[in-house]
Amino acid sequence: MTRDLDFYFDFLSPYTYLASRALPGLARAHGVNLRYRPMNLVALMQRVGNRPTTLECANKGAYAMVDLARGALVAVELGRGSAYIDAIFSAVWVDAADLSQPDILARVIGGAGLGAEDLLRRADSKEGVARLDRATEEAAQRGVFGSPTMLLNGEMFFGNDRLDVLAETLAALSAAPAMAD
């Protein structure tokens, strides 16, 4: 039986960056299907009444990050979510790249093996905006209140500091005998 691990994230969080580096290997090690679930963290926090005490909400930065999340949705749809997400997180948290600059963003996306022009056009479309809104609402409905959040069979693991607990849970599930359907 394949287990799904939903990874709700926004590029705004350095803790989410750290989780994004660990989760693919953890998922592979335990035979779990890692499903990327980009969302708009600021909108989610407003929706669920969570105050962003550690988040800077500069208008330009928030705007750029929303575009990046829509791009993640398009990349996931194209089957290139992991490459896009790795490239954007590295650009933001390793290289300190100014992704509000179109040429820099296009170079990062191209470096991930994606066509920047098509991806950005799709991300910035009315449907792209609506998809991110729906993804954020879905996250709120599932109980998500911040980033990173991982959901495994309905059990929530919030924060980078819960990766060890998630790993222990996955190990226990892997060791348990398979139950018949």
**What angle do helix axes 163-175 and 14-29 make, rounded to 10 degrees?**
10
Looking at residue 65, its pLDDT comes to 58
Residue-wise pLDDT tens for the chain (181 aa)?
Answer: 568 999 999 998 888 999 999 999 999 999 999 999 999 988 998 899 886 554 444 544 554 555 678 889 999 999 999 999 999 999 989 999 988 888 999 999 999 999 999 999 999 899 999 999 999 999 999 999 999 999 998 899 999 889 999 999 999 988 876 554 4
Fold assignment, 3-175: Glutaredoxin (3.40.30)
pLDDT at position 63: 47
The pairing of strands 149-152 and 3-9 is antiparallel
Q: How far is CA 21 from the centre of its chain?
A: 11
pLDDT at 179: 53
Specify the pLDDT at position 70: 86
Tokens at 171, concatenated: 């190990």
Pair 91, 108: CB distance under 8 Å: yes
* 3-class secondary structure, 7: strand
Q: Residue 89 half-sphere exposure, CB side, CA atoms within 13 Å? A: 22
Domain residue ranges in the chain: 3-175
pTM above 0.85, yes or no: no
DSSP state of 177: P
For the record, the structure tokens of 144 come out as 């998500």
pLDDT at 49: 86
The tokens of 148 are what? 């990173």
